[in-house]
């Protein structure tokens, strides 16, 4: 049931990739889904939760001051052919730049939110499958 909500939130974000609100909703749903993972082997469960995309999404959902946050950045377009028509038009008028929702860490690192959230959803599936 919880995976359905995560899948729906991911699909909604993919249709509206510039929505920080929808990106945060997906992060919170992933965080909620982790609460439903059976205890099983706590060390195995923790291994998944502290690494990679899933760990970053859980840190975002925790809203810690030193954790990542979601920001809207304007970034250079590397592959114009991969853009939607709307994004392409924005990039044309903005000198090859396009807005993106990104994870931003206090140390200055930035990463596009959509691929990271996709990876976290896939890692969640793996955790849930492993716990069965």
pTM of the model: 0.84
Q: How far is CA 57 from CA 9, 80, 86, 91, 122, in A?
A: 14, 28, 28, 28, 12
Angstrom distance (rounded) from CA 40 to CA 26: 25
Return the sign of the alpha-carbon dihedral for residues 37, 71, 52, 10: positive
* Average pLDDT for the chain: 86
pLDDT digits (tens, 9 = 90+) for 46-100: 665 667 899 999 999 999 889 999 999 988 887 777 777 777 788 888 888 888 8
């Amino acid at each position: 049931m919880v995976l359905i909500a995560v899948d729906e939130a991911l699909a909604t974000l993919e249709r509206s990739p510039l929505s920080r609100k929808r990106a945060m909703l997906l992060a919170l749903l992933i965080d909620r889904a982790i609460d439903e993972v059976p205890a099983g082997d706590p060390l195995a469960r923790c291994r998944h939760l502290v690494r990679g995309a899933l760990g970053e999404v859980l840190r975002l959902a925790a809203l810690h001051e030193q954790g990542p946050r979601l920001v809207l950045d304007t970034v250079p377009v590397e592959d114009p052919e991969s853009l939607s028509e709307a994004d392409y038009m924005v990039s044309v008028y903005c000198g090859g730049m396009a807005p993106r929702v990104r994870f931003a860490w206090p140390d200055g690192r930035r990463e596009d939110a959509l691929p990271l959230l996709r990876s976290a959803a896939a890692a969640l599936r793996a955790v849930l499958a492993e716990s069965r």
